Structure 1
Amino acid sequence: MLFGIDLVDVRRVARALDRNGVVYARHVLAEDEQCLHTDRTLATAAGVAVKEGFVKAVGGRPPGFSWHDFVAQGPGGSPALIDRSLAGALPPISAATGIELTEVRTYTVRGASRDAALARLGEAPGETSVVGAARWGRRHEVIVALAILVTISAKENS
């Protein structure tokens, strides 16, 4: 299991959106990930925080990295191990940041980031999938995200 935590200043993302508009949002988020929040700035900031958490979990941006290596699948659907790990990690993170991590999504991990996660976990690429889940929350202009990655064999996936 790999963990990553990130904090994002929403104002920084708002400035990037002001400069580059929809191009920046599309660079970071897939079209269906805009639903992370009804406000485009908050959706993009949440996406940046979550995906930066995943980047930390895989050990950085590997060669061939794309923000679209991590694609939100919607709430729920993550393996029980991830759900328990997320729940166990929440109290100390909330205590340290003063932010409750109330939002949750499951992610498909692919491309260079999938390969980096498998290498970091010592897994062979073959039939193994990498699944991620993230929790995040916001207070004022700060978003905190916790991201967790695990592997699932083809057998477990069926």
Structure 2
Amino acid sequence: MRVPAVLFGVDVLDARRVAEALDRNGAVYARHVIAADERDLTEDRALATAVGVAVKESFVKAVGGRPPGFSWHDFAACEDTEVPGPAERLLTDALPSITAATDITLTERRTYVVRGASRDAALARLGATGHDGTSVVGAARWGRHHEVIVALAVLVTSAKESS
């Protein structure tokens, strides 16, 4: 059995920092870091933006930093909330350790498409080119306690299905 290549990233964020950025820059900042469909993570605009930042920062860490040409919108939330099998198992297996280390349970989840410069960086780190139709899919889990948000991201390759 071949073990799939995966990338992990974890972020811990103080939501007050994002609230301050929103106070200074308002909707411009929110549009810069999260897409409209990501604003539905919670009814609280500041919290939804903070969650989006924490999740995307965990993806940035997984791809090895912000590559040239990076955009926050390289990571796009999917309508489909089903997490790919290998990513789901890895997220589930990592939960006890993350909870023990942070005392925060990661109860929320979402699947992400990875594109642009971040896709290319992830493929390079995963040892793939993408020329064969291979794409990168991400899955994230997050939780919060008061003002602290913890996000865990996993990136895996996904071969394009032939028709």
Separation in 1 of the partners of 2:80 and 2:99?
20
Over 3 Å counting, the alpha-carbon distance change for 1:43 and 1:75 in structure 2 is farther
How do residues 108-147 of structure 1 correspond to structure 2 at under 5 angstroms?
108-126=113-131, 127-147=133-153
- CA RMSD in angstroms comes to 1.1
Q: Which runs of 5+ in 2 are unaligned?
A: 1-5
Q: Residue 31 of structure 1: which of 29, 36, 40 is its match?
A: 36
Aligned to 1:154: 160
What residue is the counterpart of 2:3 in the other structure?
none
Aligned mates of 1:149, 1:74 — CA distance in 2: 17
Establish whether residue 49 from structure 1 lines up as the match of residue 50 from structure 2: no
Q: Which amino acid aligns with 2:161?
A: K
Which one-letter code corresponds to 1:151 in the other structure?
A: T
CA displacement at 1:35 relative to structure 2: 0.6
Shift of 1:75: 5.8
Structure 1 pair 137–69 and aligned structure 2 pair: CA distance change class (3 A): same
1:53-64 matched pairs, under 5 angstroms: 53-64=58-69
Q: Structure 1 residue 36: deviation in Å?
A: 1.1
Deviations 1:86-144 (A, max 9, x none): 00000000011000000000000000000000000110121111000000000011000
Where 2:78 maps in the other structure, the secondary structure is: strand
1:102 aligns with 2:107: yes
Counterpart mapping for 1:77-88 below 5 A:
77-88=82-93
Amino acid at match of 2:149: I
**Fraction of identical pairs, as percent:** 69
- What is the identity, as a one-letter code, of the residue corresponding to 1:93? I
Q: TM-score, length-normalised on structure 1?
A: 0.96
What SS does structure 2 have at the residue aligned with 1:51?
helix
Q: What is residue 22 of structure 1 aligned with on the other side? A: 27
Name the CA distance, whole Å, in 2 between partners of 1:150 and 1:39: 31
Amino acid at match of 2:91: L
Distance between the aligned counterparts of 1:153 and 1:45, measured in 2? 32
Inter-partner Cα distance in structure 1 for 2:36 and 2:114: 16
Give the alignment's TM-score, normalised by structure 2. Answer: 0.94
Question: Does the aligned pair in 2 maintain the 1:75–1:104 contact within 8 Å?
Answer: no
